[in-house]
Structure 1
Amino acid sequence: MYPINLILDDKPCVVLGGGHVAFRKIEGLIEAKAKITVISPEIVSEINDLVGNKQITWIKKCYESGDLAGFELVICAIGNEEINQKVQLEANKRRILLNVVDRLDYCDFALPAKIRRGNLLVTFSTNGKSPALSRYLRCKMEREFDETYANWLDKLVQLRKEAIEKLPTSDDREIFWRSALSDDVMELVRAKKYDEAEASIRDAISGFRA
């Protein structure tokens, strides 16, 4: 597998199925700011609430060939082998990225367990071999990745702009950040001493190859 993070902002995505598993997949797509359509004859109350809040669109019907037209990504959470095969055929024909729940052999991508804190996204993957282990590792690390790093990431956005202005080449910037985000700086971050950490980075920018 080749790890990537898909940018799905306002991209049309479809979830086939209306159960609790489908709901969990929908939650992830909402976090990714996708434009979501659900195709299912029935939906659980949690999905119905999202429909009522106009966060997603619901088409009340069973999947039929042709339903994937216009979508860029599909998640199939129906749990029917015959339908899984039909969805895979259509998705492949239309060159649409596909994930079929619990059937890695039908998938173009696997969904990792994740920790999301603002713009910080940490994922755990077992190449689809054991989602349960991915979830376990995520739970173990949730306390480590609290809002501290998300807050620091927001501050790094401005620092990165300043570094780009000072350091013209990508090679210079790569060398700089490898040394600038030192253990000492990150200790300040963990202690929530953001101002001191920022000052250290700015000093490093000013002094880089001066």
Structure 2
Amino acid sequence: MAADAPSPSPAGTGRLYPVGLRLEGRSVLVVGGGAVAAQKVRELVACGAEVTVVAPAIVDELADDARVTCHRRPYRSGEAADHRFVVAATDRREVNQEVHDDAEAAGVWVNAADDPQRCSVTLPARVRRGSLLVTISTEGRSPALATWLRRRLEDELGPEVEVLLEVLAEERDRIRAAGGSTEGLDWQGALGSGMLDEIRAGRIDAAKELLKACLSSSSA
């Protein structure tokens, strides 16, 4: 075996290729109607997905949500094929297996909650601050570590980081709208110039001036 070859992965895990799914307006099936399913649905709805929940019993949080289509019945063989993305969140392994097999046969990406062997997609631990999304994955080997790291990052990444992102994005959009190029500008120098400290102190305009000064000097 080559020296730089990866070690064999435990069953059900392996190297992950990180992607971000755009689910707005796309059909997502969640099989299961309990607390775990509800947590999955909250995030899917927040991303604009058109969510259908199928389960014999469905918690009120889901049943009362007008944004979610609920069917109180067992999963029907083959119905995973009618959706772009599927989540299996039941406490019955045979159901999760059937959902996984149907999705795989149809070429549909599927996640099974806490069951990496029945996933073609795993859901990493994540921290959101507006448009900023930071994810942590252990490739299914230790969800506890991923959760621990997420909590540490939540403490580190306060709301000021969201403001920082907006300031940077607005300036980038302004430059592009004026026909300029954002490549080759000293964005990293700007980020290290004390912008975040100014934002933490509530001096947003001062942070913007620092940004413009750094970018102007790099384009001169």
Written as runs of structure 1 = structure 2, the 5 A alignment for 1:189-200 is: 189-200=199-210
Written as runs of structure 1 = structure 2, the 5 A alignment for 1:1-210 is: 1-50=16-65, 54-164=66-176, 165=178, 167-168=180-181, 170=183, 172-173=184-185, 176-210=186-220
Deviation, structure 1 residue 104 = 0.6
Please, which moves more after superposition, 65-74 or 186-195?
A: 186-195
Deviation, structure 1 residue 94 = 1.4
- The aligned length equals 204
Stretches of structure 1 that go unaligned for 5 or more consecutive residues are none
C-alpha distance after superposition, 1:72-113 (max 9, x if no partner): 100001132222222122111211110011211221121122
Output the TM-score relative to the length of structure 1: 0.87
SS in 1 for 2:135: strand
Determine which structure has the larger helix proportion and give its number: 1
Q: For 1:88, give the aligned amino acid.
A: H
Stretches of structure 2 that go unaligned for 5 or more consecutive residues are 1-15
> Where in structure 1 do 4 or more consecutive aligned residues deviate above 6 Å?
none
Identity %: 34
CA distance in structure 2 between the aligned counterparts of 1:49 and 1:156, rounded to whole angstroms: 39
SS in 2 for 1:37: strand
Output the TM-score relative to the length of structure 2: 0.84
Give the superposed CA RMSD. Answer: 1.9
Q: For 1:45, give the aligned amino acid.
A: D
